[in-house]
Amino acid sequence: MIRPRPLRPLAIACVLTGAALAQVQEGDLLVNTSSGLRLYRPDGTFVAETTGATGSNFYGASFTPSGLWVSAFSSPHRGVALFDSTGQEVSTFPTPEVTSIGDVSVFSDGTIAVADQQGRQIELYTQAGVHQLTIQLPGAGRPFGTVVDADDELWVTDSALNQIHHYDQAGTHIGMFSTGACPSGDVDVAEDGTLWTILTDIGAVRHYSRNGTLLGSFSTGWFTTAVGCAVDMDGNIWVSRSTEQGVRRYNEAGNIIGTITIPAGQAPRFLAIFEPTLAVPYCSPAVPNSSGMPARILAEGSPFVTDNALTLTAFDLPPGEFGYFLVGNSQGSITPPGSDGVLCLTCGWSGCSGIGRFNQGGRIIQGPTGSIEVDLTNLPLSPPWTVSAGETWNFQCWYRDLNSNNFTDAVSVMFH
């Protein structure tokens, strides 16, 4: 699964049409069953399902940052499949490096992590299926549940040695702690960075700090086959059991506050919750300016077009120097004549209608820090542009620097 904190900058792995993406909403629950994947609203309303096209016997549930569903399958061969929000298969690729599939998770750049239970390792792939890295668990470990947190770090439950391991995307082992005498199933990271997991043999839901301190626990009353665990943005915990035709929702105190019934014959396994993300930093770091620092840009607000809530902030500009923000629909890399920095939006510096400038109506900013509110119904292009769901726009800041000029790094924002 993926567990980004809301509105944290994350990479956009692909672009969906507005019509397809509109069906995935904040807080939606993706349930991996023995038959495929099922999408539900937070209130339990069923939205869509898939039983796959290329593969069957699915294991794992996750979302890409742009809202595609991700799962692994074991038949007719081992592989990974991606689906749009209607359950239509978008792409698939084989995973010959995997001997026994477990959970799947997605990093902010779209890299997919697949747990290999018998191989005792995690395999990383691009969404095109290019194998990137093997992360080997220490000892006789058996990776089962996985999650990528807001810091782009991977947490893995070890169902053989009853441990939870912590890695960065490069495969560096950051740490580990024990879950006691019982193995963990799925794992998730809450908004405050703490971890929740479910113990498969006793059905206990446990709450841990990042260094393994037990913060709390409650019982589901299950004694075998507990699998799924996902935490929503309100701190409620969704859990599943492969021998029960339903998914339960608990509050942190361990009280059941909701259930979703799964159709007969579709045993629930792993769970994932969709939390929209906002922006992708790229062209980072920027060329340092006269202050000695590279200036940077931050996008904050809501990824939903209907909210019309986007704030751009430039940091570490030279004190007292002026600048303004830019917008373009594609990325690029060019050093304009007379500039010290790199323009990371497409087309040339002059005479280009594809780049908009937020330099009117009091939007000129002054270093070292400046912000503007962006009106998504009126991007400063020619002609003015209204942003629609499914579109991706790129932002950067140009600024004067002594007798020259420079740029911040850039961000790419996909709107829902």
Which one, of 55, 6, 5, lies nearest residue 32 by Cα? 55
Q: In whole numbers, what is the pLDDT of the chain averaged over residues?
A: 89
Boundary-marking domain end, from 273, 305, 324:
273
Boundary-marking domain end, from 273, 301, 321:
273
CATH code of the domain containing 49:
2.120.10.30
| Secondary structure class of 211 (helix, strand, coil) | coil
* Cα–Cα separations (whole angstroms), residue 150 to 115, 191, 194, 275: 19, 8, 11, 11
Task: Let me know if 222 is exposed, middle or buried by CB neighbors in 10 A (0-12, 13-18, 19+).
Answer: buried
Asked if 327 and 224 sit in the same domain, the reply is no
Asked if 250 and 294 sit in the same domain, the reply is no
Which one, of 73, 75, 82, lies nearest residue 106 by Cα? 82
How many whole angstroms separate alpha carbon 398 and alpha carbon 334?
13
In what helix (H) or strand (E) does residue 411 lie, and over which residues does it extend? Answer: strand 404-414
167 with 160: CB under 8 angstroms?
no
Task: Let me know if 252 is exposed, middle or buried by CB neighbors in 10 A (0-12, 13-18, 19+).
Answer: middle
Which one, of 86, 90, 168, 96, lies nearest residue 127 by Cα? 90
How many whole angstroms separate alpha carbon 268 and alpha carbon 245?
7
Is residue 334 included in any domain, yes or no?
A: yes
**Residue position matching structure tokens 């962006």:** 374
Q: b or e along 45-66 (b: 16 or more beta carbons within 10 Å of the residue's beta carbon)?
A: eebbbbebeebeebbbbbbbbb
Is residue 9 included in any domain, yes or no?
A: no
How many whole angstroms separate alpha carbon 284 and alpha carbon 296?
8
- The pLDDT-based confidence of 139 (bands split at 50, 70, 90) is confident
pLDDT confidence of residue 322 = 96
**Extended strands (E) in 65-199:** 69-75, 79-83, 89-94, 101-106, 112-116, 121-125, 131-136, 143-148, 154-158, 163-167, 173-178, 184-189, 195-199
Which one, of 98, 101, 106, 75, lies nearest residue 12 by Cα? 106
**Extended strands (E) in 180-293:** 184-189, 195-199, 204-208, 214-219, 226-231, 237-241, 246-250, 256-261, 268-273, 279-282
For 144, the token pair is 């089962």
Lowest mean pLDDT among 22-26, 77-81, 351-355: 351-355
Tell me the percentage of the chain whose pLDDT exceeds 90.
Answer: 71
Asked if 269 and 287 sit in the same domain, the reply is no
Is residue 375 included in any domain, yes or no?
A: yes
pLDDT confidence of residue 10 = 30
pLDDT confidence of residue 124 = 98
How many whole angstroms separate alpha carbon 75 and alpha carbon 54?
9
pLDDT confidence of residue 6 = 36
Is residue 346 included in any domain, yes or no?
A: yes
Residue 264 has pLDDT above 70, yes or no: yes
pLDDT confidence of residue 14 = 30
331 with 346: CB under 8 angstroms?
yes
342 with 283: CB under 8 angstroms?
yes
286 with 413: CB under 8 angstroms?
no
**pTM for the whole thing?**
0.72
Cβ neighbours around 115 below 10 Å, total: 29
pLDDT confidence of residue 81 = 97
pLDDT confidence of residue 154 = 97
Asked if 268 and 291 sit in the same domain, the reply is no
User: How much of the chain is helix, strand and coil, in % rounded to 5?
Assistant: 0, 50, 50
Asked if 269 and 387 sit in the same domain, the reply is no
Is residue 13 included in any domain, yes or no?
A: no
Asked if 268 and 184 sit in the same domain, the reply is yes
Which one, of 168, 144, 161, lies nearest residue 60 by Cα? 144
Asked if 200 and 321 sit in the same domain, the reply is no
Asked if 215 and 334 sit in the same domain, the reply is no
Region label for 88, one of left (φ > 0), alpha (ψ between -120 and 50) or beta (otherwise): beta
- Cis-peptide into 288, omega within 30 deg: no
Which one, of 114, 146, 123, 125, lies nearest residue 1 by Cα? 146
How many whole angstroms separate alpha carbon 306 and alpha carbon 389?
9
Residue 181 has pLDDT above 90, yes or no: no
Which one, of 325, 317, 320, 406, lies nearest residue 369 by Cα? 317
Is residue 192 included in any domain, yes or no?
A: yes
Domain containing residue 136: 18-273
- The pLDDT-based confidence of 353 (bands split at 50, 70, 90) is low
Give the total number of structural domains in the chain: 2
Residues in the chain, total: 416
Asked if 263 and 321 sit in the same domain, the reply is no
Residue 8 has pLDDT above 80, yes or no: no
For 166, the token pair is 């912590």
With a CB cutoff of 8 Å and minimum separation 6, the contacts of 383 are none
Asked if 108 and 243 sit in the same domain, the reply is yes
Residue 7 has pLDDT above 70, yes or no: no
Boundary-marking domain end, from 223, 239, 273:
273
CATH code of the domain containing 383:
2.60.40.10
